[in-house]
Amino acid sequence: MSFRTRFIACAICALLPLSAVTEPKVGSYLAARQAAFVNDFETSARYFTQALIGDPANPYLLENAMVSYVALGDFAGAKPIATVMKQSGIKSQMAHIVLSVDAAMQDDWDTVFSLLESGLGIGPLVDGLTQSWGYVGKGQMAAALESFDALTETAGLGTYTLYNKALALSYVGDFEGADAIFAGAPQNGMRYNRRSAIAHAQIMSQLNRNADALALIDGVFGPQTDPTLVKMRAVLATETMLPFTYVRSAQDGLSEVYLIVAQALLRDGSDDYTLRYARAAVALSAANTDAVLLAADLLENLGQYDLATATYSTVAPSDPAHQSAEIGRSEALRKAGRTEAAIETLRALARTYPEMPRVHATAGDAHRENGDYEAAKTSYTKALTLYDDADPLRWFIYYTRGIAYHTLDDWPAAEADFRAALALRPDQPQVLNYLGYSMVELGINMEEALGMIERAMAAEPQNGAIVDSLGWVLFQRSEFDAAVGHLENAVALLPVDPIINDHLGDAYWAVGRVIEAEFQWNRALSFDPLESDATRIRRKLEIGLNAVLTEEGAAPLEVASGDD
């Protein structure tokens, strides 16, 4: 059909009377449902809209078509559907959001208030703050402050309301009033997050308190070196006044409300539902880059990598968040299987931000994913030279560089990096497990390896890879009966892992349960192991484990009598 599905089915047949109904298009309906099931929002929007041509009164089709357009960030496409739903008396929270956001985007605050008065609410927080920002949009600041204050008394909403009130005061130039709210934050239940800390630093700078603003940034963020904070520190250090950028209109303020809800939903909401609020925040303010990055990240989680890439691309190169957006875009490209494009994106980013360690660390991850461990090692080394010694992320770079060294058969360098990571994070289960398992495979430091793996398992008892490591070290120590139990648990946790199934086969063979061993080896083969592993498993099935060990020059196991 195209042309944006015939301009949203001629704006839902120009809001036709609902009696004008033909037979529903079953094929479109089925295609739309399947697309929605896999979060293919572009396809679901197209086919749900086509289905509506045949059945424009169907609440299910209306709701799902509208939600698909919102997920795409297309509020213009969602609006005619929401309008039909409102006119038809179909109750829908999402339709209310679409109409309210669209009206606010048009600076039509009378319609926003009309929607609030209609009883089609979204929730106490959003409705209350929408009213407050609506008054700001209408230029009625006294009414806005009264609205903020009334909402502050509502249980559980005080923190969010005070933050929004401080932003509103800053928007009209009352930085002293805004600062007073932040200064009284602890007793009022407010806590700094990234956005509120940066907003307060900007407010302090507007009051010629750059030293206090710099102390706040350092106290909240520590040694973090993302471009936004680097730029802020540089400006504050020169006594130049930071501009207040968080709210430049009532729409920006309302955008902040939807971002707050989206961030709260991250804890226990589904990604597709959370995405709707993030998209609303972006629709209201394209400059709200935290909302843009959140929407892109949610699209990644939903497997919509092309949409995520496009969303990351909307962050302008002049924006301090551009580096984070490009790193996110490279990750989305990599997940989409476009590894070379991801690496090229990171190369370009490294040329633009040569002193930013995160760029080089992410490039290392991309090279490692692509199997280029030499390039990965180089990128990780560059990152380590740039990270501040106090940066908490350094352990992870040592760990990932250690993996690169290990893959390149440079065990001394790999071990040194794993131990450096443990010096920074002594109980990190991933590092404990990787180092412990590697030492088991090399047949060195077996007691230390066992201790490391036991500590890792104590931290993550349901991690199948770690449980496998414990079983395998016990196998290498000839404690076969104990190994069987742990390896059976590991297979239960990761049933289609070829290595774990192979290990369990070896353990069964060692305790004389040969038929079960052969079964596990065959299972391992069915899960597409590396060809070298597959060749060895086939050989074990032909001549048995002991004969394979003998061929390899290793000592045979002392096998218990069993069912063969």
**DSSP-assigned letters across all residues of 1-22:** --HHHHHHHHHHHHH--TT---
At 192 the pLDDT is 84
Residue 316's pLDDT band, with cuts at 50, 70 and 90, is very high
Residue 7's pLDDT band, with cuts at 50, 70 and 90, is very low
Residue pair 547/536 in contact by the 8 Å Cβ criterion: no
Residue 560's pLDDT band, with cuts at 50, 70 and 90, is low
Two structure tokens written together for 289: 């880059």
**What is d(CA 296, CA 298) in angstroms, rounded to the nearest whole number?**
5
Whether residue 275 has pLDDT greater than 70: yes
Q: Per residue in 334-366, pLDDT tens?
A: 899 898 899 999 989 888 888 888 889 989 998
Residue 65's pLDDT band, with cuts at 50, 70 and 90, is very high
pTM reported for the whole predicted model: 0.80
Residue 22's pLDDT band, with cuts at 50, 70 and 90, is very low
Residue 357 burial by Cβ neighbours in a 10 Å radius (0-12, 13-18, 19+) = buried
Tracing tokens 């006594």 back to the chain, one arrives at: 239
**What is d(CA 483, CA 470) in angstroms, rounded to the nearest whole number?**
8
At 100 the pLDDT is 96
Q: Per residue in 403-414, pLDDT tens?
A: 999 999 999 999
Residue 253's pLDDT band, with cuts at 50, 70 and 90, is very high
At 79 the pLDDT is 95
Q: How many CA atoms lie within 13 A of 64 on its CB side?
A: 28
Q: What is residue 286's DSSP assignment? A: T
Tracing tokens 């060990």 back to the chain, one arrives at: 549
Q: Looking only at Cα atoms, what is the longest distance across the chain?
A: 88
Burial 233-259, CB ≥16 within 10 A → b, else e? bebbeeeeebebebbebbbbbbbbbbb
CA distance from start to end of the chain: 67
At 23 the pLDDT is 47
- Within 10 angstroms of residue 155's Cβ, the number of other Cβ atoms is 6
Q: Per residue in 491-525, pLDDT tens?
A: 999 999 999 999 999 999 999 999 999 999 999 99
Domains and CATH numbers, the chain: 1-106 (1.25.40)
* Arithmetic mean of pLDDT over the chain: 90
Q: Per residue in 131-170, pLDDT tens?
A: 999 999 999 999 999 999 999 888 678 888 999 999 999 9
CA-to-CA separations, 489 to 309, 462, 495, in angstroms, rounded: 39, 9, 9
Two structure tokens written together for 296: 């892109």
CA-to-CA separations, 329 to 264, 304, 375, 491, in angstroms, rounded: 24, 12, 20, 35
At 2 the pLDDT is 45
